[in-house]
Structure 1
Amino acid sequence: MPKIAMIVIDMLNPYQHEDAEQLEQGVEPIVPRLAELIGRAHRRDDVELIYVNDNHGDFAATREDLVSRAMKGRRPDLVEPVAPPDDCAFLPKVRHSAFYGTALEYLLRQMDVGTVLLTGQVTEQCVLYSALDAYVRQFGIMVPPDCVAPIHGDLGRAALRMMERNMSAEIVPARRCLI
């Protein structure tokens, strides 16, 4: 039976960019639920936990570098609860989609993953584009709206509707994921 992969997108953020304050408002409420969902996924043998994070243009950056920079940024309180465990997969990315220019599709196929559970930021950008790329690669998609953060609430809600309508994504609260 195909597995589920929980993909945590771009949560290692130093929050030192133009729209950071707006994004922080979307991130603050999701961190507790996301941290709890990460913990549940990490404890299960039938769920793969994968982090995909923007390398912010530093192509030599390691997982440790990205965690360190985020923890030294403006909002370590938004990073520490959701930092990647040492034993989970970690892929750097350079553009919006978690699939673009990464080995994510290959990794998911090797792990026999059938469904991706997309979490993280930004709902109307990286999460949406990752959902589209998952859809065209014929993965099932699940998105907990309480574990994704928008910059613009109206665009985040529209992105969730697009994922549900156009990509057959299941939009379900975190408490109903991985049960």
Structure 2
Amino acid sequence: MHDKKTTALVVIDMINTYEHEDAELLLPSVREALPGVRRLISRAREIGVDVIYVNDNYGRWRSHHDEILEMALARPHADLVEPVKPDADSLFVVKARHSIFFQTPLEYLLDRRNVGHLVLCGQVTEQCVLYSALDAHVRNLPTTVARDAVAHIHRDLADAALRMMERNMGTHICSADEVPLGVEAGTPLPPP
């Protein structure tokens, strides 16, 4: 993917009902990360960067993205979903497991959209974000993670995950406001 020229923002598992194990531990961190996620989405939309939601289907194999969104918006924590919900131009990929790549069409979509750099935000830092960054790394796909736009269940594990992504996978770790979206004038993509 070295010849790819564009960046995509991947929003991981933010369309969420928060009706799962560890949700109570996750919620405070989601509230902290939400402003960073919102800023990234807004900036990406403003300059025309693809915003791709990759989201669990929660075992609902007959559902599609609108149903997943409606279900999350009908639950008590809709205030965490409403500000970051997909718009008409957003792309949506359903996943069943932790990585955004595992048995999803994401890699094909990225190839078709000429994407050579991923920006990851969402949840959970020490699980889905970490595994997705690893899968991007093994695909030789440069990746950035906005540390203030990812939510965690356990802060110590999230801090370790961010260090591992940076040290072992070459992931660029920065604040949401420092994320290079790659299409802004003069903004180079991170090195592969």
The two structures have a TM-score, normalised by structure 1, of 0.96
Paired residue for 2:30, among 21, 27, 31?
27
**Cα separation, 2, equivalents of 1:163 and 1:95:** 19
2:11 matches 1:38:
no
Paired residue for 2:138, among 124, 136, 139?
136
Paired residue for 1:103, among 102, 105, 129?
105
SS at match of 1:144: strand
Q: What residue number does 1:58 align with?
A: 60
**Cα separation, 1, equivalents of 2:39 and 2:147:** 14
- RMSD (Å) for aligned C-alpha atoms: 1.0
The two structures have a TM-score, normalised by structure 2, of 0.90
The alpha-carbon deviation at position 62 of structure 1 amounts to: 1.1
| Aligned ranges 1:130-169 → 2 under 5 Å | 130-169=132-171
**Cα separation, 2, equivalents of 1:7 and 1:23:** 19
Q: Percent identity?
A: 50
Paired residue for 2:75, among 73, 76, 99?
73
Q: What residue number does 2:20 align with?
A: 17
**Cα separation, 2, equivalents of 1:86 and 1:65:** 15
**Cα separation, 1, equivalents of 2:164 and 2:151:** 16
Higher mean C-alpha displacement, 31-40 vs 51-60: 31-40
* Cα displacement string for residues 133-178 of structure 1 (whole angstroms, at most 9, x for unaligned residues): 0011110010000000010000011000000001100001011113
**Cα separation, 1, equivalents of 2:33 and 2:20:** 20
Q: What residue number does 2:177 align with?
A: 175
Amino acid across the alignment from 2:175: P
* Cα displacement string for residues 63-104 of structure 1 (whole angstroms, at most 9, x for unaligned residues): 111111111122111110011112111000000000001000
Amino acid across the alignment from 1:89: L
**Cα separation, 2, equivalents of 1:4 and 1:147:** 17
